[in-house]
A and B are shown apart, each in its own frame.
Chain A
Amino acid sequence: MTESENNGRIPPGLDRRGFLRMSAGGAAAIALASALPAGCAADYPQAESDGVDLQALTPKEYAVARAAAEALLVGVPVDPAVVARRIDRELALVGDPVREDMKTVLGLMEHLTFLGGRLRRFTALDAPARLAYLHGWRESRFNLRRGAFQAVRAFVYFYAYSDDATRPLTRFTGPWRERISIPATPIDFGEVV
């Protein structure tokens, strides 16, 4: 790609859904996302069996996040349920637009398996098939699908590897404050109420 080929301006007013609409198959995808069944606890029992009181995600979205974590965290000593629970909590606290975008991504991830010729939903695939499906998103020629993959991937890996259980794996020794007591330089802030 040359500079001139890569010099396209960003269309005005383009947001995530705008991106989706622009991309081939995007209009169908957004229509699908709107029509997707929310899923209920009976269809997606993972949150209940994990004992999670969901704050932001639906049982289906939680199950997708958990399934993605199971696929991505091969050999990582962190329970995928811990990661999915953390994602739910963070999305509850951050609010929109991040929360709504992530919920849309998880819904699409569950149901767009047919694009790769798969007949089963994402959560119903086995672990290697889930990873292969995610790689399809990663390598998509559509920016939005790559972006959706990167978002899920970043959530999963960030919350997994900020967990202390991974320290033996990375040989990360942790924050100093956990090991060494060093007094802070005193600061006089005046009155604090």
Chain B
Amino acid sequence: MILQGTRHDGEIRDRADVVVVGTGAGGGTLAAYLADRGWDVVMLEKGGFFRAEDFSQREEEAMGAFNGRRGLDTTVDNAIFLNYAEAVGGTTVHYWGDSFRTPEDRLERWRRERGLEWMTPAELNPHWDAIERELGIHVAEEELFNENNRLVRQGCEALGVEGHAAPTARVGCIGCGWTQFGCAYNKKSSQLITTIPRVSKAGGRIYSDARVERILLRDGRAAGVEGVLLDRETKRPRSTFRVDAEIVVVAAGALGTAELLLRNFQDDVVGRRFYINPHYWVFADFGREIDNVTGIPCAYVVHEWRLKRTAADGSYAGGGYIMLSSHQSPGITAAMLPETGEAHLARMRKFRHLGSLMSVIDEDHPGRVYLDGGVRKTEYRVRGVDALKAVDFLKNASRIFLAAGAREVWIPDIYGTVVRNEAEVASRITLRSVEPNAQFCAGSHLLGTAPLGADPDDAFAGPTGEAHRVPGLYVADGAALPGSVSVDPSLTIMGVARWIAAGIHERSGRAGA
């Protein structure tokens, strides 16, 4: 059953085997695994419940309806836009569906640095196999490539750069291009249309518009949660709820999970590290109309520079990011493009001429999340080697578009930087372009605020996902990951959450694999 808190009058009291806070990639995957095996599951979601017919494909409506803080959340210095969803289905409602298994080098690092011995392909592959089947994950078909994707591929091939079609979570996609504002046709395999219905039909209860405020403890052990039901538009409390359960799983996303844990526990590990995979953009003017609106946003991904390269003397020698072909909508594009007044107008007249590439920077330096006067805030500065990676991205993305025939490439910085050839790429793109608030920067892979790890002084939860200091409390979302994945993290989050769920089930002694 799905109960919409915004429509419910009166208090709610419920009891379940497990209560899951959050309904996204982590929470949805974990809840469905347990519900399928006979567990009585309650899920709680701060955001609203939206169905296909609610997705108008209008960016301003989507941003307000199901993005966190109505799509206006930023770091404290306004330098980085934080992009996450608050809706049943979590961030998978607006994600692009890119679905990469965790690279082995990252698993090896987490085994070595965090004591997560179980993080091996052998352990995770069965879970990824199952998730890929359930979500219909497959390599993007050629017909889903829009012209921007094809031009990126063309540029990569001309330069001999490694890239490939992206694995994507969608079934029967019609290529409307509106993935990031919620799929209006139920073709993208978000948690909203995959795991949530499974939980609901297995007898689970999903409460939307339900903000958890307190984690209940009994004899030092997690015993449930309580909070308030919200009016969907104003976010004002309408009534209260309480759910008792022997197992509490927090999977509210790196920001939501950190906020809830900070409100409930004194643990300075929480929020100490905050990874976002900074996104910068370049725009390419092809001097003719190209299609960068339909198809899927990222059918093609550039992997050539995924890992950071280091010179013999230890200095940075390039790389440390992947590139994603990026989708265009007019409002967001207008906010990103440089210039003002008539110069900005001239750029927007070329809206249909623009290709774009976006970075996913595999950062070395995380930020942090904290409470200030009870308000959740975030600090993050792209700095040190990460700023060098950003510049390297801007240069290599420009080269790809120039090789694909772009007349000029725009760096959307406050200087209105334009490059037309290699000499300009080498000389005009510098660190000043990536100083804070010198250009639009965003983070949508929010990770690491309550990480797993063997060391209780450096990890909120142990290797099983259970909190070091609170038995019965688990973390199973992007917050639990120890750091950047170096690719889109959604399939990593799902795989880890499913592994944690399998452990909970196995240790319970219940029947059924």
Name A's B-contacting residues (CB within 8 A): 1, 3-4, 6-8, 10, 13-16, 18-19, 71-72, 74-76, 86, 90, 93-98, 101, 131, 134-135, 138-139, 143-144, 146-151, 153-154, 157-162, 166-167, 169-173, 175-178, 182-193
Check if B56 sits within 8 Å of A3, measured CB to CB: no
Interface residues of B in 67-87 (CB under 8 A from A): 69-70, 72-74, 76-79
Residues of chain A with a CB closer than 8 A to B52's CB = 184, 187
- List B contacts of A171 (CB < 8 A): 289, 351-352
Q: A15-B377, A147-B437, A192-B49 are in contact. Are A161 and B234 (CB under 8 A)?
A: no
A166–B340 contact, CB under 8 A? no
For the complex, count residues of B whose C-beta is within 8 A of A.
Answer: 87
Chain A hits for B377, CB < 8 A: 15, 97
CB proximity of A176 to chain B, nearest CB, Å: 5
Assembly CA distance A18 to B77 (angstroms): 9
Q: Does B64 contact A (CB under 8 A)?
A: yes
Binary contact readout B305-322 vs A (1 if CB under 8 angstroms, 0 otherwise): 000000000011000000
Residues of A close to B370: CB separation below 8 A: 13
Contacts known (A161-B330, A170-B351); A3 close to B69, Cβ less than 8 A: no
| B197 touching A143, Cβ below 8 Å | no
With contact pairs A98-B72, A143-B79, A175-B58 given, residues A3 and B316 touching in the complex (Cβ less than 8 Å): yes
User: Given the interface contacts A187-B51, A192-B1, does A74 sit within 8 Å of B59 by beta carbon?
Assistant: no
Cβ-defined contact, B197 with A187, below 8 A: yes
Digitize B353-391: 1 where CB-to-A-CB distance is under 8 Å, 0 elsewhere: 000000000000001101010010101110111011000
Q: Which of B158-166, B178-186, B256-264 contacts A (4 or more CB under 8 A)?
A: B178-186
Bound-state CA distance A10–B380 (Å) is 8
Q: Is B107 an interface residue (CB 8 A)?
A: no
Question: What residues of B have a CB within 8 angstroms of the CB of A96 in the complex?
Answer: 375
Q: Which of B111-119, B331-339, B505-513 interfaces with chain A?
A: B331-339
CB distance from B126 to the nearest CB of A (A): 27
- A143 touches which of B57, B77, B334 (Cβ 8 Å): B77
Contact check, B344 vs A157: say whether CB atoms are below 8 A apart.
Answer: yes
Q: Judge whether B220 is part of the interface by a CB distance below 8 angstroms.
A: no
Q: Which residue of B lies closest to A148 (CB)?
A: B78
Q: A151-B78, A190-B1 are in contact. Are A184 and B235 (CB under 8 A)?
A: no
> Complex: how many Å from CA A3 to CA B364?
12
Q: Are A131 and B340 in contact (CB under 8 A)?
A: yes
* Cross-interface CB contact of A172 among B7, B172, B351, cutoff 8 Å: B351
> Can you report 24 A-B residue pairs in the complex whose CB atoms are below 8 A from each other?
A3-B315, A4-B384, A10-B381, A15-B377, A16-B76, A74-B341, A97-B375, A98-B70, A138-B414, A147-B437, A157-B335, A157-B337, A161-B335, A162-B58, A162-B60, A166-B330, A166-B348, A170-B349, A172-B351, A175-B178, A176-B184, A177-B55, A182-B176, A185-B193
CA distance A178 to B385 in the complex (A): 46
Report chain B residues within 8 Å CB of A182: 174, 176, 185
Report the separation of the CA atoms of residues A166 and B49 in the bound assembly, to the nearest whole angstrom: 31
Partner of B200, one of A146, A157, A178, A189: A189
**CB neighbours of B109 from chain A (8 A):** none
| B99 at interface by CB-CB < 8 Å | no
CA distance in complex: A153, B344 (Å): 11
- Given contact pairs A147-B79, A157-B344, A187-B52, A3 touches B372 in the complex (Cβ within 8 A): no
| Interface pair B172/A143, CB less than 8 Å apart | no
Q: Once the chains are docked, how many angstroms separate the CA of A98 from the CA of B375?
A: 11
In the assembled complex, the Cα of A16 lies from the Cα of B2 at a distance in Å of 39
Q: Can you add 16 more A-B contacts, CB < 8 Å, to A143-B437, A189-B197?
A: A3-B316, A3-B385, A8-B381, A8-B383, A18-B76, A98-B72, A139-B414, A146-B436, A158-B335, A167-B330, A169-B345, A176-B176, A187-B197, A192-B2, A193-B7, A193-B8
Residues of B within 8 A of A (CB): 1-4, 7-8, 49, 51-53, 55-60, 64, 69-70, 72-74, 76-79, 171-172, 174, 176-178, 184-187, 193, 196-197, 200-201, 233-235, 289, 293, 315-316, 329-335, 337, 340-342, 344-345, 348-349, 351-352, 367-368, 370, 372, 375, 377, 379-381, 383-385, 387-388, 414, 431-432, 435-438, 440
Are A131 and B2 neighbours in the complex by a CB distance under 8 Å? Answer: no
Bound together, the chains give a CA A189 to CA B73 distance in angstroms of 31
A3: which of B329, B335, B384 is its contact (CB, 8 Å)? B384
User: Which residue, of B60, B197, B370, has the highest number of chain A Cβ atoms within 10 A?
Assistant: B60
Measured CB to CB, the closest approach of chain A to B236, in angstroms, equals 9
Would A10 and B367 be within 8 Å (CB), given that A19-B77, A90-B64, A161-B348 are in contact? Answer: yes
Residues on the B chain within 8 Å of A134, using CB: 340
A184 to B51, CA, bound (A): 10
Q: Which of A97, A131, A167, A188 is in CB contact (< 8 Å) with B341? A: A131
Given contacts A162-B60, A172-B330, whether A93 and B234 have CB atoms under 8 Å apart is: yes
CA distance A176 to B236 in the complex (A): 33
A150 to B79, CA, bound (A): 8
Please report the C-alpha to C-alpha distance between residue A192 and residue B49 in the assembled complex, in whole angstroms: 10
- By the criterion CB–CB under 8 Å, are A176 and B60 in contact? no
Give, as a whole number of angstroms, the nearest-CB distance from A162 to chain B: 3
Instruction: Determine the residue in chain B with the shortest Cβ distance to A154.
Output: B335
